[in-house]
C-alpha cells in the first residue's frame, strides 16, 4: 500500500508539472490523471526515467510520451505513442516529421495524432475546393460542395466541367475522393495538394489538384489559389 501511495504521489507530481507543457493552444491534449500516470509509468517501464505525457481529448485511449532515449532505455525515440488496449498501455515510437500533415496510414488517426502534437494534423477549419461561379465570373471556395463548375477546356468535357450530386469521403485529408455526375454521366473525382488560399483572412486551405474520371475520359486540373 505504501508503495502504491508513493507511486500515486509521484505521478501526481508529474501530472502537475505537465500542466504548463500541454496547455499550448496548438494542442488539445490533457495531463494524465494520477491513475493513468501510474499505469503508463508501470506498463511502459518508465520508473527510472524523466518523462512527460499528454492524453488525447479526442480519444483517451491514446497518449503521447516524451522521454530522452539517451536517459531512458524504455524508449527508442523522443516521442512515443501509447495506446491503452486490453487493460494495458502499449507504446510505439513515433517517427513522422512533426512539421508535416499527419500520415493517413498510421494506426493512430490523423485527428488524434494532431491532438497529441505529433504532427500538424488536419486543419482546424474545413479544406475548400475552388469552383468557378459562371454568373459572377469569380472563383468561390465551398466546403465539400454538392456542385462545382470547373472552367477548363478538355476534349472529354468541353469548356466547363459541371459536377453535380457530389458525395465525398476523407474530406480534410491530404487526398479526398468523390463521386457524382457530369451531364448525367457518373464520374469519380480525386482531389489533393492542399495549399493556403491567398489573402484569406482566416488562412483557409484549398485543394489545388483534381482528377476527374469517367467513360468519356480522364482530365487532371491544376487550380491556382495564390
pLDDT at 16: 34
Report, as an integer, the average pLDDT of 100-116.
Answer: 72
d(CA 62, CA 89): 9
> What are the Cα distances from residue 187, in Å, to 129, 147, 173?
17, 13, 20
- Which pLDDT band holds residue 6 (cuts at 50, 70, 90)? very low
pLDDT at 8: 39
Residues 216 and 146 reside in one and the same domain: yes
Domain membership of residue 18 as a residue range: 2-115
Q: How many CB atoms lie within 10 A of CB 16?
A: 11
pLDDT at 83: 93
**123 within some domain:** no
Residues 135 and 105 reside in one and the same domain: no
pLDDT in tens, 156-212: 899 999 999 999 988 887 889 999 999 889 999 999 988 888 887 767 889 999 999
Give the cell for residue 128. Answer: 475548400
Report, as an integer, the average pLDDT of 147-156.
Answer: 92
Residues 50 and 94 reside in one and the same domain: yes
Residues 139 and 209 reside in one and the same domain: yes
The beta strand positions in 56-157, using DSSP E, are 62-67, 79-85, 88-93, 131-133, 138-140, 148-154
Residues 40 and 97 reside in one and the same domain: yes
Q: What is the DSSP string of 61-76?
A: TEEEEEE-TTT-TT-S
Terminal alpha carbon distance of the chain: 64
Report, as an integer, the average pLDDT of 123-144.
Answer: 84
Q: At CA 30, angle to CA 50 and CA 72, rounded to 5?
A: 15
pLDDT at 199: 81
Residues 102 and 194 reside in one and the same domain: no
pLDDT in tens, 28-82: 789 999 999 999 999 999 998 899 999 988 789 999 999 999 889 899 888 899 9
Predicted structure pTM score: 0.49
Inter-residue contact 209 to 192 (CB < 8 Å): yes
Q: Which among 82, 115, 148 is the end of a domain?
A: 115
- Which pLDDT band holds residue 135 (cuts at 50, 70, 90)? confident
pLDDT in tens, 13-22: 343 333 333 3
**189 within some domain:** yes
Q: How many domains does the chain have?
A: 2
Q: How many CB atoms lie within 10 A of CB 100?
A: 11
pLDDT at 12: 40
Place of cell 501530472: 15
Task: Compare 107 and 10 and report the one with higher pLDDT.
Answer: 107
- Which pLDDT band holds residue 125 (cuts at 50, 70, 90)? low
Residues 108 and 190 reside in one and the same domain: no
**125 within some domain:** no
pLDDT of 91 above 80: yes
pLDDT at 59: 85
Residues 84 and 53 reside in one and the same domain: yes
**126 within some domain:** no
Inter-residue contact 19 to 31 (CB < 8 Å): yes
Amino acid at each position: 500500500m505504501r508503495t502504491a501511495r508513493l507511486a500515486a504521489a509521484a505521478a501526481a507530481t508529474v501530472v502537475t508539472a505537465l500542466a504548463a507543457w500541454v496547455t499550448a493552444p496548438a494542442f488539445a491534449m490533457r495531463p494524465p490523471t494520477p491513475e493513468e500516470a501510474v499505469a503508463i509509468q508501470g506498463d511502459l517501464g518508465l520508473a527510472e526515467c524523466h518523462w512527460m505525457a499528454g492524453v488525447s481529448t479526442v480519444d483517451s485511449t491514446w497518449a503521447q510520451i516524451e522521454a530522452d532515449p539517451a536517459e531512458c532505455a524504455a524508449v527508442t525515440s523522443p516521442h512515443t505513442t501509447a495506446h491503452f488496449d486490453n487493460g494495458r498501455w502499449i507504446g510505439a515510437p513515433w517517427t513522422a516529421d512533426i512539421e508535416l500533415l499527419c500520415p493517413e496510414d498510421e494506426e493512430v488517426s490523423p485527428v488524434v495524432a494532431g491532438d497529441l502534437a505529433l504532427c500538424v494534423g488536419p486543419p482546424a477549419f474545413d479544406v475548400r475546393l475552388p469552383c468557378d461561379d459562371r454568373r459572377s465570373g469569380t472563383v468561390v471556395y465551398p466546403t465539400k460542395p454538392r456542385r462545382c463548375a470547373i472552367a477548363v477546356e478538355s476534349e472529354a468535357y468541353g469548356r466547363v466541367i459541371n459536377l453535380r450530386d457530389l458525395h465525398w469521403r476523407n474530406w480534410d485529408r491530404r487526398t479526398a475522393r468523390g463521386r457524382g455526375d457530369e451531364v448525367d454521366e457518373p464520374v469519380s473525382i480525386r482531389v489533393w495538394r492542399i495549399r493556403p488560399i491567398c489573402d484569406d483572412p482566416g488562412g483557409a486551405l484549398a485543394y489545388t489538384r483534381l482528377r476527374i474520371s469517367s467513360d468519356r475520359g480522364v482530365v487532371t486540373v491544376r487550380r491556382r489559389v495564390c
